[in-house]
Each structure stands twice: as C-alpha cells, then as structure tokens.
Amino acid sequence: MISFIIIGRNEGERLRQCFNSVLDVIKADDITQYNIVYVDSQSTDGSVELAKSYNLIKTILITGECNAAVARNIGAKEAKGDILFFIDGDMEIQPGFLPKILKSEREMIYPFISGIFIDYVYNTKQELLYKNQRIPSQEGGRYEAIVGGLFLIEKAYWIRFNGMDMRQKRSQDYDLGLRMAKSGTLLFRKDQLLAYHHMVSYGMRVDKVSNIKYTALLFRKHWNNKYYIPTFVKQQYTTILLLVSLVAAYFSWWFFCLYNVALAYKIRKQMRVNKIGVFTQLKSLISRDILFYCFLLFFWPNQIVEKYEIR
C-alpha cells in the first residue's frame, strides 16, 4: 500500500490543487491500494475544513509545536502503507512517475527516491513571476544526499532511521538524507517530472537568525559527513575563514586579510542578484559568521513532543 502524506499550513487553493492532483494520479496510474493523510500545522484559512470535505483524506491537526519534521513524523505514524510518499501542500504531483519506480504497491525499485519538480513562483497577488527547474536534469538519474520536501521512501527505511529530527526546524529533509547517505542509502533522483511546485515569493522576509541556528545544528551533527562538507564549504566559506583567520592572526595579522578578501568576493557576488548596499551586506555577513559560532556552542534545542488530533 502507498500512503500519500501531505503537509500544509495556510496553502489556500494550492492545497485543493494538491489534493486533486493526488486523486488524479491514483486514477491515472491505477493505484488500487492506498491511503491519503493530510497533516495541518494550525492553518487559519480553512485548510482543515477543506481536507475534511474529501471523504478519502484522513485529516490530522497538530495541536502542539509545529514544523515540517513534526508534520511528516505524525503523517508517517498515522499512515498505513509500506511506501510513504511525502508531498508539500503547495505541490501538484504528475501522473506517470509511480509506474516507473514501483515493483509492486508494497515495494519500490529504489527504497528512497524523488524526481524532478518545477517551481512556479507567484507574488502575493497570485500573479506568476517566473518558473524554474531548480534541480537540473541528468540523463538516467543520479544518487544524491539532498532530499527536499518531495520524496518516496519505504516505511522500513523510515523506521530504521527514526524519521525526521523534529529539533531541526529548518533543513530537516536534508538532515534525513545526510543520515541515510552516511549509512550507505542515497536518494535516487529519477530524471522524470514528479511535480509542479506552486510557491509564493514574499521578497526579503526571511528569518535569518533562525537559518543560522539550524545551519549550526546541522553542522554539529554532520561535520564529519563526506556528503555534507563540500556543500558547507561552498555556502559557508566566510564562516570557515573567520575562524581560520582569527587563529592564524596569532602568528601574523596578515592572515586576517584572508577573511576580508572572502567577504569582498561574496559581497560582489551578492550585488549581482540584489540591490542591497555594501555596508548593509558587510554587517550582515559578519554578524552571521559570528552568530554561527555562538549557536554552534550554545544552541541545544529540546526534543519536541508530538501533539495532534484526528479530525
């Protein structure tokens, strides 16, 4: 049996589109053994009532602390299937993918798999800004540790790796992928369209401090993971050079120039894609690098207790 596990919070009409796409795929791909679970993270837009209007959907409301990891863990706990198909509520899945990756409705060709999805990015007025295939295609597919919110996994593997770490409020899917990759089970990214991702752009409204917290937590858990280090170095090279420069400056202050050069390089790159002033970017980068080490040492979040009710 396949369990379609949909998570969402205030997705509005995108959620209806997601539900309908799941039902369309079940019919088009001739899936006979399935159940559908929707886990809601305390929406205020009528999402729970919408889900309840579909007789085939088991609707769950999180009553405690919410994040995507909590929602997916609850969904997996309430799912009946041998295969768990995780879908974000703003995604519209496409027919034709499942028949290519199933041995049966209880087993897949690959135990951990995803596909290609295309982002459709809208403004707050629901006007399409642009569309983009975020993950490049590769003929024949490829193995990787990067997961995302859209994937299928055999339930035995989900249980073996204890699902998602609910403390990881950001990058919880990547954390799962890294833990599995380190043990020898990589995600297979099939070169086939699996979903359209309908997302709203809110401009620069990003919780940067929260991002730094959970980047530090992810690093602390995976600092010795060969699948994570190249990505960390690519994204956080100024953070690394800050520490290296401070240590090396004990021998000669010239070494601190390495950090300044890295800052200048990153600012120049960022100015190609946004209009933020040099001083603002400099202050932001230095603050972020310092905060990373503060959170690395002092941010130890407590485990979250799942609290929910079936509607």
- Verify that 22 and 126 share a domain, yes or no: yes
Dmax (CA) of the chain: 70
Q: How confident is the model at residue 277 (pLDDT cuts 50, 70, 90)?
A: confident
Q: Given this model, what pLDDT does residue 279 score? A: 76
Looking at residue 89, which CATH number applies to its domain? 3.90.550.10
DSSP string, 78-129: H---SEEEEEETTEEE-TTSHHHHEEETTEESSSEEEEEEEEEEE-TT--EE
Cα-Cα-Cα-Cα torsion 152, 156, 161, 164, nearest 10 degrees, comes to 50
Tell whether 120 is covered by a domain: yes
Q: What is the pTM of this model?
A: 0.90
Q: Given this model, what pLDDT does residue 276 score? A: 67
- Could you read off the pLDDT of 155-206 as tens digits, one per residue? 999 999 999 999 999 999 999 999 999 999 999 999 999 999 998 875 444 4
Tokens of 272: 């190609």
- Verify that 43 and 125 share a domain, yes or no: yes
- Verify that 145 and 63 share a domain, yes or no: yes
- Cα separation, 185 vs 159, whole angstroms: 14
- Verify that 159 and 216 share a domain, yes or no: no
Q: How confident is the model at residue 298 (pLDDT cuts 50, 70, 90)?
A: very high
DSSP state of 34: E
Tell whether 308 is covered by a domain: no
- Verify that 167 and 292 share a domain, yes or no: no
- Verify that 16 and 51 share a domain, yes or no: yes
- Verify that 226 and 263 share a domain, yes or no: yes
- Verify that 167 and 234 share a domain, yes or no: no
Tokens of 295: 């959170």
- Verify that 59 and 196 share a domain, yes or no: yes
- Could you read off the pLDDT of 193-251 as tens digits, one per residue? 999 999 887 544 445 788 899 999 999 999 999 999 999 999 898 999 888 888 877 77
- Could you read off the pLDDT of 103-147 as tens digits, one per residue? 887 889 999 999 999 999 988 878 888 898 988 888 889 999 989
Tell whether 139 is covered by a domain: yes
- Verify that 122 and 221 share a domain, yes or no: no
Tell whether 131 is covered by a domain: yes
Tell whether 304 is covered by a domain: no
Domain end position, chosen among 203, 225, 254: 203
Domain end position, chosen among 186, 203, 220: 203
DSSP string, 144-186: ES---S-EEEEHHHHHHTTS--TT--SSHHHHHHHHHHHTT-P
* Number of domains the chain contains: 2
Tell whether 303 is covered by a domain: no
- Could you read off the pLDDT of 81-110 as tens digits, one per residue? 999 999 999 999 999 999 999 988 788 999
Tokens of 34: 């399935």
- Could you read off the pLDDT of 11-52 as tens digits, one per residue? 988 999 999 999 999 999 999 999 999 999 999 999 999 999
- Verify that 107 and 253 share a domain, yes or no: no
Count of H-run helices and E-run strands, the chain: 11, 13
Q: Given this model, what pLDDT does residue 78 score? A: 95
Q: How confident is the model at residue 273 (pLDDT cuts 50, 70, 90)?
A: low
Q: Given this model, what pLDDT does residue 246 score? A: 83
Parent domain of 241:
208-298
- Verify that 193 and 291 share a domain, yes or no: no
Q: Given this model, what pLDDT does residue 202 score? A: 56
